[in-house]
Structure 1
Amino acid sequence: MSATELERAFDPTTSRHRRDPHPLFHRMREQEPVYRHAPANGRVSWYLTRYADVQRALHHPDIGRQLDRLPGELAAFHRRWENDPLAMVRRNMFNLDPPDHTRLRRLMAPAFGPRTVAALERRIDQVVGELVDDLAAAGDGADLIELLALPLPILIVADLVGFPIGDRGRLRGWSDDMLRSRDAALIRRTGVAFVAYVNEQLDERRAHPGEDLLSQLVRSTEITHAELVSSVFQLLLAGDETTVNLIGNGVLELLRHPDQLERLRARPQLIDSAVEEVLRFNGPVGHSRPLFALADVDIGSSVIPQGDIVVPVLLAANRDPAVFDRPDVFDIGRTPNRHLGFGHGIHFCLGAALARLQARAAIGALVRRFPGLAPAVDPAELEWTPDLFLHGVRHLPLLLEKSP
């Protein structure tokens, strides 16, 4: 396929590859592994599909996330195209480079350390049990996403942050509006409401501090108010969708591969490696956040000019035959499994351990509880998220069969 043909075949602004982008990624990796996409607006993006190139880009010192690190004229060029309805909550680790990223990650890291995450395991199992009961009560046609994958992470992270139990419904609604809506005006209004809510919670913690994460952050002198509000957004809402997609994609792939579902039933100790294989085979994040070339950068056999956008495609890297044997085979016992499903380098997902724990609990509970688990609709008819960045199904109706 020529570069012109590839340009016509792959347009990141459309949804035609969302259901199954992997055949396209195979062609790109073989023919245009460092692919220059030049849309009409003039903002050039380079899509990276080989494992080595993705890994290199994710820890390259001259590829970063902060637009203000570019020379003035290049930064101004990009700002002309920006219309971010959630700009008010973007000053967090996800969108910053060192030294600010380093400072904020150091403040947040204890909340997601091994001891803290391990202490949450009992609570996660309890919440999963309650949500699976709700799923069973709904009967055949129950939507896995609505009844289990969506509510679970918001309940767990709200506990961690320290938000009141009674506010979880509001938080869930805000998360849906900000992360799943395509309506910029609605997203902006919801963002304003969320910021007002967080400010109320911060005032409450200043007056009556506790032991929760929010109280710890309020006491810190190393974080600005804007960074504090933005970090709460990242922890509570932005990390939420990753876990939702991990659970949804995990159940979907087991249903698509009934031999692996039966293998997991027969050997439940494979649940950890099953979650890792989901992250590799069809993970919850399609590509890294678009990055900026802060200088001319050599990637593969190409030079990416300063100011161009760099898009490391995690889904493509994770099926690179140069790294993975039989990359298109879903194997829940795969080892080794050096996938990039949670990124790489300094921006490796801080909440990865917590997301894994929730996916393990949710998928494991479903496999144990419902021996007749099956899709209620043809998987080919499922609706996928409208952009490649967050990669998952919007709904997953199930047929259930409770064990006696």
Structure 2
Amino acid sequence: MTAPTSTGSPVFDLDAPEHRSDPHPLLRRMRERDPVHRRVNRVTGLSTWYLTRYADVQQALHHPDIGRQPERLPAGLAARHRRGDADPLAVVRRNVFHLDPPDHTRLRRLLAPSFGPRTVAAIDRRLRQAVLAMVDDIAAADGEVDVIEALALPLPVRVVADLVGFPLDDLATLRRWSDEICRSGDMARVHRAGCEFVGYVNRAIDARRRDPGDDLLSRLIQAQGAGELSRTELVSSVFQLLLAGDETTVNLIGNGVLELLRHPDQLARLRARPELIDSAVEEVMRFNGPVGHARHGYALADVEIGGTRIPQGDLVIPVLLAANRDPAAFPAPKVFDIARTPNRHLGFGHGIHFCIGAALARLQARAAIGTLLHRFPRLRLATDPADLSWTPTLFLHGVRRLPVLPYGR
């Protein structure tokens, strides 16, 4: 969507470069001064509403009249959204991330068994072996190491390939496509990488149809043969699994290591009590999570959020980072506390779109962060945190590089 402009209220630009390294002061001002913040799109004339209070974000995430499919709107409103939509990957949006019930319910039911305890436990064993090998490589390096490049980037794509059933020999290519789509910011490169990946998935489907295996791709192919999903939905679902399961976990690992190194008291606490790793990961999700805001939804009818009427057809963006530091929901929200309990953060979403891969993301963060800290007791940042480069928009929120000195020189 074309960037909207503010009207009638303070100007808050979430994607302004000066806020990328630390959006939280801006989000606090929005939450306090204009928690249901309206901006108007120059192209469509439609409004976008940014929600920053916990209660409002939670309400929007499970509101039955806030959907993700613009075609559910009256034809005129849907057409206005299409005129302002420059999505280069629109053809692969038939997946649980972009659909509403009943299609969302049907596809999620087909995917859910592959994210159950038995599958996750099997992947956990293999991912721990992969983490140990990556940390061994870090240990062999002389001097500065980039945690993102050495650990956070290669791990999630390996896990997704394991889950779906892609050959490990293709990891570098999958990694390149994911980087191009999520990190380049160039619409032509995004479209080219998306087309290349779709072609790869189609070839994989044809090959696996001839030679099925014990993997998610084979199960989805079987479901397609039974008429439970279309070929487009099959390709789109696999496409989304790579993107959603990859970049967000990269950011979670990177942000987690960064926050622990920026909070030495909590790092020492975790070293003294390794059993806190689970709650530490949850606190990273709350304090500085990998996704700044949920995907925009469409007001399918007039809705009221936080005492404000949002007209049918307008966009609604729940800002997760803001909700997760709302003092109305969390005592001392600006304090990074790895033993925080309860911790009902919204970092993985809420309602029907709660992240289906949350368990896998937690496993990877726990293994990567815990193993790294255990192996390198003198680990420290190799640069001033103020000099770190961050993702260009708030939707995906993470550092691009995280240089560290494993041996604390």
Shorter-chain TM-score category? over 0.9
1:380 corresponding residue in structure 2: 386
Between 133-142 and 249-258, report the one with greater CA deviation: 133-142
Aligned to 1:97: 100
Q: Secondary structure at the match of 1:292?
A: strand
1:301 is displaced (CA, Å) by: 1.4
What is the match of residue 17 of structure 1?
19
1:140 alignment partner in structure 2: 143
Give the distance between the partners of 2:273 and 2:171, measured in 1 at CA.
35
The residue correspondences of 1:232-381 to structure 2 (distance < 5 A) are 232-381=238-387
Give the equivalent residue in structure 2 for 1:200: 203
Three-state SS of the structure 2 residue aligned to 1:383 is: coil
Instruction: Summarize the Cα distance change of 1:70–1:396 in structure 2 as closer, same or farther, 3 Å threshold.
Output: same
Please tell me whether residue 32 in structure 1 is matched to residue 34 in structure 2. yes
1:393 and 2:399 aligned: yes
Distance (whole Å) between structure 1 residues aligned to residue 352 and residue 181 of structure 2: 26
- Indicate if the aligned counterparts of 1:179 and 1:238 stay in contact, CA closer than 8 A: no
User: Is this contact kept in 1: 2:15–2:392, CA < 8 A?
Assistant: no
SS at match of 1:171: helix
Q: CA deviation at 1:189?
A: 1.1
Deviation at 1:133, TM superposition (A): 1.4
Aligned with 2:317: secondary structure? strand
Q: Is the 8 A contact 1:251 1:363 kept in 2?
A: yes
The one-character-per-residue Cα deviations of 1:22-57 (angstroms, maximum 9, x if unpaired) are 111111111111111224333311010110000000
Cα offset for 1:4? 6.8
Say if 1:265 and 1:368, in contact at 8 Å, map to a contact too.
Answer: yes
User: In structure 2, what is the Cα distance between the partners aligned to 1:382 and 1:183?
Assistant: 21
Partner SS, residue 364 of structure 1? helix
Shift of 1:179: 1.1
**What is the aligned counterpart of 1:191 among 167, 171, 194?**
194
Structure 1: gaps of 5 or more residues = none
Instruction: Give me the identity figure in percent.
Output: 69
TM-score by length of 1: 0.97
For 1:13 and 1:247, how far apart are their aligned partners in 2? Answer: 22
Write the deviation string for residues 107-142 of structure 1: whole angstroms up to 9, x where unpaired. 000111122111211111100011111222233221
Post-superposition CA distance 1:55-112 (Å, at most 9, x none): 0000000001001011000000010011111112211100000000000000000111
Question: C-alpha displacement at 1:398, in angstroms?
Answer: 0.5
TM-score normalised to the size of structure 2?
0.95
Q: Does 1:65 align with 2:71?
A: no
Aligned AA for 2:171?
R
- 3-state SS of paired residue (1:325): coil
Aligned length: 400
Deviation sequence 1:215-269 (CA, Å, 0-9, x none): 1110112110110001001112232111000000000000110000010000000
For residues 43 and 252 of structure 1, the distance between their equivalents in structure 2, rounded to whole angstroms, comes to 38
Looking at structure 2, the residues matched to 231 and 135 of structure 1 have their Cα atoms a distance apart, in angstroms, of 34
Alpha carbons 1:140, 1:376 under 8 Å: kept? no
For residue 28 of structure 1, what is the amino acid of its counterpart? M
After TM superposition, give the deviation of residue 176 of structure 1 in Å.
Answer: 0.5
Q: SS at the partner of 1:167?
A: helix
CA contact (8 A) 1:242 1:390 kept: yes
Paired amino acid for 1:268: P
Q: Judging changes above 3 Å, is the alpha-carbon distance between structure 1 residues 126 and 254 closer, same or farther for their aligned structure 2 residues?
A: same
Aligned partners of 2:7 and 2:38 also within 8 Å? no
2:63 is paired with a residue whose SS is: coil
1:168 aligns with 2:174: no
Residue 51 of structure 1 is matched in structure 2 by: 54
CA contact (8 A) 2:164 2:215 kept: yes
Partner of 1:226: 232
Runs (4+) off by over 6 Å: none
Asked if 2 retains the 8 angstrom alpha-carbon contact of 1:139 and 1:400, the reply is no
Q: Is the 8 A contact 2:254 2:398 kept in 1?
A: yes
Offset of residue 300 of structure 1: 0.8
Displacement after TM superposition at 1:401 (Å): 1.2
Partner residue, 2:3: none
Gaps of 5+ in 2: 1-5
Equivalent-residue separation in structure 1 for 2:105 and 2:41 (angstroms): 34
Distance 1:25 1:12, change over 3 A: closer
For the Cα contact (< 8 Å) 1:89–1:226, is it kept in 2? yes
Q: Cα distance 1:71–1:305, how it changes in 2: closer, same or farther (>3 A)?
A: same
Q: Distance in 1 between matches of 2:10 and 2:217?
A: 46
CA distance in 2, matches of 1:139, 1:43: 54
Counterpart Cα distance in 2 of 1:43 and 1:148? 42
- Any conservation in 2 of the 1:296–1:303 contact (CA below 8 Å)? yes
1:106-125 aligned at under 5 Å gives the runs: 106-125=109-128
